[in-house]
Structure 1
Amino acid sequence: MLHCFIHLFKFGGFILYPWLVFIHAVSAMVSIGPFFVLIPMLAKLRTAEEPLLSAYLDSFHFVVRLSKHCGHVLVFSGLLLMWLGDWPWNTPWLFGTFVVLFASLLFMARAFSPTIRQLRKPDHDRTRLVDKLARALYLYLFVLFLMLWLMIMKPALW
């Protein structure tokens, strides 16, 4: 089975490669785009009363999960593109992207969900937690744009 898969991509790659690039680009857009909806929601989180607060927190949680799952497609399609395009691991922009990617995985695992869980508790310091959520959101967007820059511009870092 694996041999057929390899044969399909290696020899039919001239047909499938553009589709793989498309899948990679769409998964990048879906991984980054929904976070922009959360920016105006931060102000609303500061003053929302309970039923609305829960809906806003559900939206945050959904965006984080959506980004995580699209990130899986993004990484898998990226690895296939590396393999089909014969890009070596030590290519500077690829290596830099993977360093930032692993750092972002560690960051994302602790940045959003624990803060959202604390905001759901009845006795919480909302101002401090929403500020923490805002910092995490802006820092994560910066990290995502850094990876996007590395992948698009392909800088010669060394």
Structure 2
Amino acid sequence: MSVYYQLILYLHVFSATLSIGPFFVLVPLIGRMKSADESALDVQLAVFQSAVRLVKHAGHLLVLSGVFLIISSGYRWTTSWVAMTILVMLASVVFLASAFKPVIRKIRRNEADRGQLLDVLNRKLWTYILLLLLMLYFMVVKPDFW
């Protein structure tokens, strides 16, 4: 294994960690948001948005390093686990683009019951985590579907 490949693999694993890890910190944060006063809630929502931003940028590095790994590894784009990873990745990009910002905006504007909105936010957070874990499964296990 070349040093180039090892470096790209390391960047890929590092960016995968950065693209899922911050979301596990947000789980207890959502619980704290339920009883937070307005000033604390603003800070907590800013932390939430920052974590989402970090995950988005880590996802860019993840995709780029993944492309380099596929090209240099000899796997084909039509290999089942590669194709499934790409399919789930596209679904997660679409989901991430619309999952959190509208709910956070409603919480900030007090448009509905905070508890209900935080439950929605929590559900969306776990949905996204599950999508990322599914991608991680495909990349690590490399199942052969066809």
Q: What interval of TM-score do these two structures reach, taking the shorter chain for normalisation?
A: over 0.9
Equivalence for 1:3? none
Percent identical residues? 42
List gaps (5 residues or longer) in structure 1: 1-12
Q: 1:113 & 1:63 partners in 2: Cα distance? A: 12
Equivalence for 1:14? 2
Equivalence for 1:46? 34
Equivalence for 2:84? 96
Q: 1:141 & 1:152 partners in 2: Cα distance? A: 16
The count of corresponding residues between Structure 1 and Structure 2 is 146
Residue-by-residue CA offset, 1:11-67 (whole Å, 9 max, x unaligned):
xx8221100000000000011101011111111111111110001101110111000
Looking at CA atoms only, which structure, 1 or 2, has the larger radius of gyration?
1
Q: 1:100 & 1:109 partners in 2: Cα distance? A: 14
Q: Which residue of 127, 131, 138 maps to 1:150?
A: 138
Equivalence for 2:96? 108
What TM-score do you get using the length of structure 2 for normalisation? 0.96
Counterpart amino acid of 2:91?
Answer: A
Q: Which residue of 99, 105, 108 maps to 1:117?
A: 105
Q: Give the C-alpha shift of residue 84 in structure 1.
A: 0.8
Q: Give the C-alpha shift of residue 114 in structure 1.
A: 1.1
Counterpart amino acid of 1:53?
Answer: L
Q: 2:110 & 2:79 partners in 1: Cα distance? A: 50
Counterpart amino acid of 2:18?
Answer: V
Aligned structure 1 segments of 4 or more residues deviating by more than 6 angstroms: none
